[in-house]
Amino acid sequence: MLGVPVMPNVRFLASYDAGRGQRYYLFGSAAGFADVVAYYRTVLKQKGDLVFDVPPVHMFEVGRFREESMAFPPGVTVKDYASGGFGGYLDPRPGAQPARYPTIIQIVPVMPGDRR
């Protein structure tokens, strides 16, 4: 449905309106940032780009960006929410276990015909 694999053993957290008819989907992972990046490097068969050092954010673009009709390029963004002493990304559901995730995966789906 999203046009890219979803890493095993992650928890769907929420989806948000990205504008221009797009949505993005957030998944929480108990795996560390480096492990999640390594997984996506393998399954997407690309290196991706480290776009921020602190906190670490790694992006994999997997579809064509059409400025006239898209708010975000299709792809996978991995963010380290445990770096710098932060406790992780808070699961928005009351009483959820685990309550926080060290790594968040954001997926902007690939639209049909837009695969790279």
Residue 77: its pLDDT value, please?
Answer: 96
| Residue 27, CA distances (Å) to 34, 74, 83, 97 in order | 16, 16, 18, 14
Residue 58: its pLDDT value, please?
Answer: 98
Sheet of 10-19: strand order equals 10-19, 22-29, 103-108, 75-80, 57-61, 49-52
Q: Where are the domains of the chain?
A: 10-108
Q: Are 51 and 102 in contact (CB under 8 A)?
A: no
Residue 81: its pLDDT value, please?
Answer: 95
Residue 80: its pLDDT value, please?
Answer: 97
Residue 92: its pLDDT value, please?
Answer: 84
Residue 20: its pLDDT value, please?
Answer: 80
Tens digit of pLDDT at every position of the chain (116 positions): 788 999 999 999 999 998 887 899 999 999 999 999 999 999 999 999 999 999 999 999 988 787 777 888 889 999 999 998 888 999 988 898 889 999 999 999 976 555 55
CA separation for the pair 89, 101 (Å, rounded)? 5
Q: Which residues contact 28 (CB under 8 A, 6 or more apart)?
A: 10, 11, 13, 89, 91, 98, 101, 103, 104, 105
